[in-house]
Amino acid sequence: MSVILRGAVRLYYYLNEEIADEKTQNWFLMRTPWPGLAFLVVYLLTVKRWLPAYMSSRPPYDLRLLIAGYNLVQIVACVYIVYHSLALGWLNHYALVCQPVESGPLAEEYAWKVCYLYFLVKIVDLFDTIFFVLRKKENQVSFLHVYHHFGMVMVSWGIVKWVPGGHGSMLVAVNSFVHVVMYTYYLLTTWDEAYKRSLWWKKHVTQLQILQFTLLFVHFVSLVVAPAQCRYPRPPAYLLIPQNLFMVILFSDFYYRAYVKKPKST
């Protein structure tokens, strides 16, 4: 037992200290994983137990103005992230495959304006679920929804902690662009109910999600098959390849059930 405990302590020290990126270690929530994990546990308890119990005997809240403001903030933040992803990296000097996490003059700016802000936005994304529960839209709080939001907080934390830039940060740019489109759609639906009834919008937003995870799956596969001298670590790919494949499967299943499969006639 003592050998197992010493091994666990050694692994924790290795992950939390030895291979952590020095630029980001002292940023809020980045020193250790425990505050972030505690926050996610509170999120799960809130949306699955505490808030549904609170709403069980209450009418749904009208949050249209609040949600409109929230969507607008999301759009601005995601546009900011996409712009700096391109200006500081992907349209500047980043290579499409095997781009290492740099230590040059733009490294800390990229880590802060792109990766860390993306992590903070993923935390703010959790309010999506809270709004669903407060509006009594429990059908929207699906496994796919909760898993995706929970998982993206963990993935974005890992990016900031270990690899704030380089090959893996393509995920940040692509996902933030998709969220610009998605939250624009959500903003429109708060003002005009006709957009909610438009299968054209909803269908293509889902298609964009599937395309996103497919591109990211291919992008991380390219890292695994890259030449041995590639200076970007491969372990993130071993985690994100199955993660993105799983998301492709989940979103494709949702797309099939929502837009392809015909309802049974009664």
Q: Has 148 been annotated as catalytic?
A: yes
Distances (CA, A) of 157 to 104, 127, 179: 22, 18, 18
Q: Which residues contact 10 (CB under 8 A, 6 or more apart)?
A: none
- Choosing from 93, 145, 148, 149, the catalytic residue is 148
Alpha-carbon distance of 256 to 158, in angstroms, equals 32
Residues labelled as active-site residues: 148
